[in-house]
Amino acid sequence: MLKDPIVGDVIDHRYTLRREIARGGMGTVFEAEQTETGRIVALKLVHRRSRHVRISEEQLLLEAQAISAVRHPGIVELVDVGICVLKGPYLALEMLIGRTLDGIIAARGPLPVREVVHLGRQMCEALAHVHEKRIVHRDLKPSNVFIALENGREVVKLFDFGIAALSGANLDGPSGDRAEFGTPEYMAPELLLGEGPVDHRVDLYAAGVTLFECLTGDVPYVGTLAQVVTKLARGMAPPDVGTLRPDVSADFAEILAMLLAPRPEERFDNGLAFARALALATGWPEGTTQLLGDATPGFQGELDRVSRIPDNARAMPHVQRLFERMAYVTMTELTYDGTTVDGRSEDISLGGMLVRTAGAIPAQAKVRVKFDLPREGRTVTVGATIRWCREGRDGGHANGVQFVDLPNDCRKAILDFVRAPSDVRS
């Protein structure tokens, strides 16, 4: 009988699984240690008991080929690829310290314009490199954009090339439906409506939706596949970002609208053209984002900028951090009143964690939170209180979890992780 990989398994005699980082429909990502070198990597494996295991395995190997072909600082690095007799194919990717963009948006809501500009330029420059290699990502969205901390500097990285394809190739799914793969709210009209040629400009459209969400906390067309298709088929124009965010300049709003144009020929030709237009529209020099909170210098200044977002945009509250914290992604379980809710952490400190869950947990609820300690990978369960809970656009929830009885050994592990240099934090 096929068994899904679990923590402690050794994959292909080469990688020991230390803790679970993320879980999706196709597979699971683990933090793993490479036997020969001791290097820590993110190991991606397919669910063995899935009904679509063969399709998932094919996608994983295609992802390896795509990432290998597009080596770039703005793309997650492929370390290794192989096939384990017992667990199937695997990808070893560089272990990133940081947070996904969707996690940042879920916790903070609309982001400062300057941060979105720096993010957009880096993201589209990486896309330009991908497209030069004649590859289309096809699934660009905030959950596939990672803000990584490297040597004290934030770097925007694209990942999850599981449904990438060659530009000009057949982009239909196995059933012949172009909309079979991807997330409808981020898919270009030509993909959803099945009209016209499909090329790299579907990624530029998705980039536009992603930046729109960063600025407003929402996407231009909200709904199910059928609802989004109906809105596009009726020619419904996307909302004006300048109306939703008055602090967005008219020039910036205009070039963002070009990315969201219904016809591919009305969009920018490539990501570099958009990045140049963005620089001209804002007049801001190239810079790096500061989206990881107090993991980077100048955090208090960042909070001040966020607090000045207009009242009609949902902004992160101005808060004073009592503890040093660091981005940290791991699977969690929160139990209260006999109910267990699965989640994923976004950051950690001696004071608590930011945890995303599918279900809501009442504010002030007393919970037991189960998670893996950073660096050690040891699973612990500690008492905590839900300080606040916020519902996200997709129905998920961001929760501020405050520890109430953190044992000394856990305190040491967390403090060592938070204060370690970024290059040794894993």
Active site (catalytic) residues: 139
| 13 burial via Cβ count (<10 Å: 0-12, 13-18, 19+) | exposed
Q: Dihedral angle at the C-alpha atoms of 192, 197, 203, 204, nearest 10 degrees?
A: -110
Q: What angle do the packed helices 271-282 and 113-132 form, to 10 degrees?
A: 160
Residue 247: name the closest of 193, 308, 324 by CA: 308
The partner residues of 380 in beta bridges, in order of sequence, read: 371
What's the CA gap between 318 and 408, in Å, rounded? 30
DSSP tag of 75: B
What's the CA gap between 184 and 174, in Å, rounded? 17
Alpha helices in 217-349 (DSSP H): 225-233, 241-244, 250-259, 271-282, 299-307
Residue 388: name the closest of 414, 358, 354 by CA: 354
* Residue corresponding to tokens 């012949």: 176
CB 205 within 8 A of CB 267: yes
User: What does DSSP say about strands 27-34 and 397-403: parallel, antiparallel, or unpaired?
Assistant: unpaired
Amino acid at 179: A
Strands (DSSP E) along 109-203, which ranges?
Answer: 135-136, 145-150, 153-158, 165-166
Structure tokens, 148:
């990584």
The partner residues of 120 in beta bridges, in order of sequence, read: none
What's the CA gap between 365 and 200, in Å, rounded? 47
* Number of C-beta neighbours around residue 424 at 10 A: 9
